[in-house]
Every structure is written in C-alpha cells, then in structure tokens.
Structure 1
Amino acid sequence: MIRRFFYTVSFVCLLLFTGMAQPIPVNDNALAKRYPFVSAVFNRIFNNTGLDSFYQKLYNLKKDSAGTVSIVHIGDSHIQADFLSGVVRNGLQEFFGNAGRGLVFPYQLALSNAPDDISSSSSIRWQFNRVAHPEIQINAGISGYALTTTSAAANIRLSLRTSIGEGLQSFNRLKFFLDTSYNTSWVFQPDNLDLPYTLKRQENDSSIYREVELKQPITGFTLSCLPTDDAKAFYGVSLENSRPGVLYHTIGVNGARYDQYNIAPLFWKQLPALKADLYIISLGTNEAQRASFFEAMFVKDLSGFLEKLKEISPGASILITTAPDSYKLRRSSNKVLRQLNQTLTDYCNKNYIPLWDLYRITNGYGSAYSWSKRGLMSRDRIHFTAEGYRLQGSLLFNALAKGYNSYISLSETGR
C-alpha cells in the first residue's frame, strides 16, 4: 500500500513539474445539464486521428512554452460575427497562451457586421466586395473581403475594444495585406504616438504582406495612404504579439459557399501567409438555400476546396464541421440542409477527414424549433443569437479539448 502510494505521488509530481501530460479542463456534462436539448454524447471529433499532428504541435507548445500554433477558421455568416469562434479562441489561448487576435478586417467600412471587439472608421467612403459576390469586379482577399479606392485621402482607423471575455487586447506585430502597387505608400501611425512607419513595396519585392514590429504593444492604429490617384486596396491585417501561444484567425463571410471561395484567386494567393497548422471549415448553410440539392456538384465543390487547402498548406490538418439545423423560408426545417450534411458526413468518413458533426450534436432535422423556442435563434431562423453561437463555440472547444486530452493520454501511455 505504501509503495503504491509512493508511486502514485511520484507520478503526479512528475506530471506537475514537467507539464508533459496536462489535460485541458473540460466538462460536457455541465453544458448538457443546462441545455438538455443538446446531444453531448456526440460532441467529439470523428476520424480524430487526422488531427494528431495538430495535437502534437499543441503538446509541444504547452511543454516548451515557445512558438505559435496557427488555426484558421473559414466559414460564412455563422463565423463572421466571431461569437462561436471567439469562445474557441479564448479557451485555447487561456490554456496554451495568447499569441494575438489574429486576422481582422474593418467590416464597418464594408457596411457589414463586425465582431464586438473590432472598431473601424474612415474619413472617406470605400468601395468593397466579398467572396459571396464574384460578379462584382473587385477581388476579395485573405479575409474574404476587400476595400478599394482611388481617393488620394485614403485612410483606415482600426482598434480592438476591451471586452469582458478577452480583457485588454494589445499587439506589437502587424501583417498588412494591401495592394501590390509600387506606386502607393502607406503611413502607419500607432496609437501610442510613436513615430509613424512608411509601408512601401520595394522593387522585386514579392512578399504577400507588409510587416510592422513595434517596441511597445498598442490597441489601435491609423493607416493613411500618401497622396496618389492610383488604386489602393486593403484586405486585412493580422494582429499578433511576441508571446508564445495560439493564433486563431477567423475568416467569416456573409453568404459564402464552397464554390465561391474556390473562384477567389487572391484569397488563395494570400492565405498561405497565415501558416495554418489547422483549418476549420464551417460552410454549407448557404448551399442549402437552393431549392434542390445536387450531390455531385456539392462534392465537386467540396473536393476542389480541400484540394486547394492541401496544395497551399500540405502540412496543415483539416477539420470540417456540419451546419446546424435551420428553417427554410421561416416555415419548416431545411430538408436540403439535411441531405447536404449527410453527404458531407459520408464524404468525411470515406476519406478519413476529421469531422465535428454540429448538426447531430444539436439534434439534427427539426432541432431548430427547440433552439428558436429557447431564444437561441434570430428571427430569420437561420442565424443564431449571441448566446446560441457561444453555446456552439463551447461545444466545439470541448470537442477539441477532448480530442487533445485523448491524444496526450495515448501518447504518454506509449512512451
């Protein structure tokens, strides 16, 4: 008995001192108790071994307290407001470290809804577009959006608000995705009143972004173009810091579909700059707004999207999520969405692609009624309230946490 106690204490002490097998605290039971209409038993990552390389990178980050792990969450309007993804970001950064806010865009200047923590303004009116409108002759970039102008007084003011969930958000490293013209120069003025920086593309410079690194962290900046009549463009900026941890980039575009992303060349050209270790793909709701479901066409669009990801980021893991149940024309649950999610699930299982089945977790076809009845869906019965999205974010974080905990447990057993 004494020997057994000694070995147990020694093993626990070893874990505490090395930090090699520290699991992420997770409790799906609390969510299931508060939200009994959620099937927490299905809240896990199917085909989970496809995330092993990603989990190993998280493990190394936790063990060594060095480096960054980059996650890129690509989706539609369910992601743009960042309610769902924000919960996952906060949870992962709380455990593994906060390497920055990641990719952001001044949505207000494109007359669109923005995450609560992003504030932007300008003294001019910009032209804009997003991947959901390929018929408009403005190419969307890395954020799925674009701002363009020929105004000689082009400027953008962007800052991060302090939020209850995230507190003060600061950054000292910025990666700007701008036009590629050699004739335009941008002046970057940080809020701490340091001397301004000039951002200009030099001859033979093929870099995708222009980077600024500051000595002191800031929470906002102004970007102004030196007077010229040439076209200017702004596609997004990654806000980072010098600390080890997780970078969680969100690319959410209202109305977006797989096929629309597929035909956005500038998006795919700029995307590798985020150096993703994991892509999370949350699409499907807008495809399901069609009158009928064409399985072969959907699979072709899905396969094309995944092939592009693998081509630009061969070392990245990919996690696909199904879309939650929603209404069609506010009358009844969407039957096309049910067919689409089944096809998506079959495709992932056939190709051993990691899948988080939100449709099943939320109780599938007809479940939108339960969510709407409890005030977790908006009036259009397609989108969710902030609370509804945050619940889904908690479920996704828990699923990733359980997958990670299982991975490190098995890894330790095999050592």
Structure 2
Amino acid sequence: MNLVYKRIFLTILNLPFLAYAQPISEMYEHLNRSTLISHEHIRLLLPGGDSTLKAFAHKVSKLADGRISDLNLVHIGGSHVQGGVLPNTVRNNLVHLHPSFFGDRGLLFPFKLAGTNNPQDFKINFTGSWIGHRTSVNSDFAEFGICGITATTYDPEATFAVQLMPFNGREYLYDRIRIYHPFGPEYMKPVWNGKENLLITWENPSAGFTEFVFEYPISSNQFILRSYLDSAQKFVIQGIQFFLEKPSLVYHAIGVNGATTSSYLRSDAFTKQIRYLRADMVIFGIGINDANVPQGKFDQELFKANYERLMNAFRRGNRTVFFIFLTNTDSYYQRKYPNRNALLAREALMELAEKHQAGVIDVLEIMGGIGSSRQWKQAGLMTADMIHLTPRGYTLVGHAISAAIIRALAEVTKSELNNL
C-alpha cells in the first residue's frame, strides 16, 4: 500500500463509522497495483465548497449509529451502469464502510425480460413473450418509467421472478417488493404467486407502483398476471425495488444502453417516479453518449440544462440530496481518434458542480487523460470499440470512484471531529 493510500486508510480506521477495514484495504491494494491509474486524481473535487458533502457525511454517521433507517444512493448512467460491474463494485465497497450497512438491495430492472444484457448479480426467470423498449432508442415508444426501459407482454399466462445472488456469502433478503408499472383499464396487474406469507398488497396508481408486504424476510419470489377487466390486454414492467426493514446503505442502479441526458427526460413518469427513491446521494454517470458526436457538435448548454432538470427531479424526493458527477471515461470517436468532447463535458460538469455545490470525480484524468484508452486496451481493460471497458477495467474504475468517495468522507468527518 503506497503512502497516500496508507494515510487515508489509517484515517478511516480512526473514524467512528468507517470500521469494516478488510474489504477497504483490499480495494486500496487493487488500486495500488495499477500502473495505468493516475492516483493523484482519485479525489472528490468540490468547486462550490463542501457544505453539502458535510451534510451527507453526517447522514452516514447517523446511519452507522442507528439514528436513521436507511441511506439511499442512486447511480445513474448508460451501458457502463447497465452492465453491472461498475455499480456493483462501488456498491460492494461502500456497504463495507460499516458492518451493519449491508441489507436492502434497492431498485433494479429485469433486463432479460427486455431481451438485453442482464447484470450477473441477479437472475431473471420468466415465461411468455416479452418485448423491450428503451428511451435511448428514438424510434421506441412505450410507457417508460423510473428505469428508462420497459418490458411489455400481451400474454395473460406470463410469469416473472427475480433471484438476487448472494454477496460474499451473505444473502439478500427482503420483506417488501415494489413493482413499477402503469395503471389503466388496458393493463393487467401483477399478482404474488409465491408460497411465503403475504400480508398486504396495495396499489398507488398515481405514483405508478404496486407493493407487496410480507410477514417475514424472504429470498424468493414469483409473479403472475391478472386481468380484472375484459379490456386489460397487456402488462408493462418499469422496474422492481426490494426493501428490508433494517438499517441499510441502499445502492440503486439505473442504467440503459445508449442513454443520454435527453433520453431519460423523454418520460414524464421517470421524473415523477424517481422522487420515490428519496435519494440522499446521486452519482451521475451520464455523458459518454451525449459526447459521442463529431467534434463541434456537442451541445454544452443543452447538456447542462438537461442535467439541471434531472437534478430537480431528484430534489422533489429529497431537497438535501448530494450530487456527484463522473466525468466521461476516455474513448475514441468511431475508433478513429480520441473524443475531445469529453473535455467539454467535464467543463460543463465543473460549472454545474460549482453552481449546485456538487462533487466531481474526474474519471477521465484517473484513466490518464485524453487518449489513454489505447493503453487501457493494450492492458486488456478496454474493449475493441474503444468506448466500453472490460470487466477488469470497470472494476478498477469502480474502485477508484469508491476510493474518492471514501477519502472525501474520511477527510470531512475527521475535520468535523477535530473541530468538536
């Protein structure tokens, strides 16, 4: 462990809530072995000051002390997030900030129902024929919601189930499931088909979800569909959220292949439903597709305006939410030359962060700056398209993002303790 990481790690060990040391130590060792990472850039930039970070750090302390029931983190992006490795790496690191933080799994989308790639940390079992649509495909039109992607079936015999995979030998349990879906006379409804003791089913048509509450925590589920009206001929799933009645650091992941800041805003239901996550922190990783245009075609002002609309949507659920922007990973435009639009996107994010007292993690510089994709590809960390990383690459970037967040929490908390 190099001196920088050792100093941060020792600081963490002295803090009251950052006590689950071994996994964090392994994360730093992984980063320390990398020769491609720019270690000095693994930090949270705060161009508008640290007051909102301090407020978030205070919430983390309260969760560790049992004074609040949960802390909701949302990571939203495109294919970097849908693939699962990046958000899962950050999730797995952050839940180890304290032994009691592991518990509630949070929001996910059953991508397999939509016929697209599904993360490996959960499996989907289903019957019937389903059709997928994404907000990121301009020709797709559907009843989009909280995840920016839907799966639709017209089969009244269709079923679906989600299996959450264990993490480090620990099983994800849940005592409440929320299914996001549209309501109306033309829609079928989800019905619990499991063996466990279901206490309550309640619907919230205005918010667009049905909840199933159980007597005790469970680990398996299955849903069937019911038509209560002759006109009900289809069912559209927009997302599934798992809850557990225990203190938890909940890490929700929202990612759609090809997503842009504009695509998430195509749906009024997205901006309406996102408030129900009541996010305490949002990690914004949208931008790689916005910037994947010829030089001179990237619209900085539209990019910033879209982000402010997204921020306002999250604020409707929690006015004190803390935002972190991730700059774009390095990439090549059409595999021909480095995409310098990433610099314009970073400039826009820094302006937003200063205006809204948000944080920025400069992933572009962490990778080595413009053109660094060549070295990452040679090392087996980037794919041939020069946009997406390999699982090893996403894991490394995920560790760097985690380390930047943990370092910021450690420094601001230690500063607060010294001022007592």
Q: TM-score of the superposition, structure 2-length normalised?
A: 0.86
Change (3 A) 1:312 1:246: closer
For residue 307 of structure 2, what is the aligned residue in structure 1? 302
CA deviation after TM superposition for structure 1 residue 349, in Å: 3.4
For residue 92 of structure 2, what is the aligned residue in structure 1? 90
Counterpart-to-counterpart distance in 1, 2:215 and 2:202? 20
For residue 130 of structure 1, what is the aligned residue in structure 2? 134
Alignment counterpart, residue 75 of structure 2, candidates 73, 76, 83 = 73
Change (3 A) 1:370 1:232: same
1:68·1:245 contact (CA, 8 Å) conserved in 2? yes
Counterpart-to-counterpart distance in 2, 1:51 and 1:286? 28
> 293-302 or 112-121, which moves further after superposition?
293-302
CA deviation after TM superposition for structure 1 residue 316, in Å: 1.2
- Does 2:242 align with 1:243? no
Change (3 A) 1:187 1:351: closer
- Does 2:171 align with 1:172? no
Q: For 1:52, what is the secondary structure of its paired residue?
A: helix
2:129·2:154 contact (CA, 8 Å) conserved in 1? no
Change (3 A) 1:348 1:110: same
1:187·1:196 contact (CA, 8 Å) conserved in 2? no
Q: For 2:128, what is the secondary structure of its paired residue?
A: coil
Percent identical across equivalent pairs? 24
Q: For 1:46, what is the secondary structure of its paired residue?
A: coil
Counterpart-to-counterpart distance in 1, 2:380 and 2:107? 31
Alignment counterpart, residue 274 of structure 1, candidates 274, 277, 294 = 277
Change (3 A) 1:412 1:216: same
CA deviation after TM superposition for structure 1 residue 298, in Å: 2.3
1:37·1:363 contact (CA, 8 Å) conserved in 2? yes
1:3-152 matches, cutoff 5 A: 20=16, 22=18, 25=21, 30-47=29-46, 48-64=50-66, 66-96=68-98, 97-152=101-156
Q: For 2:193, what is the secondary structure of its paired residue?
A: strand
Q: For 1:220, what is the secondary structure of its paired residue?
A: coil
Q: For 2:127, what is the secondary structure of its paired residue?
A: coil
> 116-125 or 153-162, which moves further after superposition?
153-162
Q: For 2:291, what is the secondary structure of its paired residue?
A: helix
Structure with bigger gyration radius:
1
1:188·1:197 contact (CA, 8 Å) conserved in 2? no
For residue 6 of structure 2, what is the aligned residue in structure 1? none
Question: 1:146-183 CA deviation, whole Å, 9 max, x = no partner?
Answer: 122333223212212335x4643222221221222367
For residue 186 of structure 1, what is the aligned residue in structure 2? 190
> 230-239 or 301-310, which moves further after superposition?
301-310
CA deviation after TM superposition for structure 1 residue 312, in Å: 4.4
Unaligned runs of 5+ in 2: 1-12
Unaligned runs of 5+ in 1: 1-14
1:189·1:197 contact (CA, 8 Å) conserved in 2? no
CA deviation after TM superposition for structure 1 residue 100, in Å: 1.6
CA deviation after TM superposition for structure 1 residue 186, in Å: 2.6
Change (3 A) 1:94 1:213: farther
Which amino acid in the other structure matches residue 54 of structure 1?
Answer: F
Q: For 1:297, what is the secondary structure of its paired residue?
A: helix
> 335-344 or 394-403, which moves further after superposition?
335-344
Counterpart-to-counterpart distance in 1, 2:20 and 2:196? 40
Change (3 A) 1:102 1:355: same
Change (3 A) 1:29 1:21: closer
1:278-357 matches, cutoff 5 A: 278-291=281-294, 292-357=297-362
For residue 400 of structure 2, what is the aligned residue in structure 1? 395
Question: 1:50-90 CA deviation, whole Å, 9 max, x = no partner?
Answer: 32221111011112365110111111110112211111211
Say what the alpha-carbon RMSD is for the aligned residues: 2.5
Which amino acid in the other structure matches residue 111 of structure 1?
Answer: G
1:109·1:120 contact (CA, 8 Å) conserved in 2? yes
For residue 209 of structure 1, what is the aligned residue in structure 2? 209
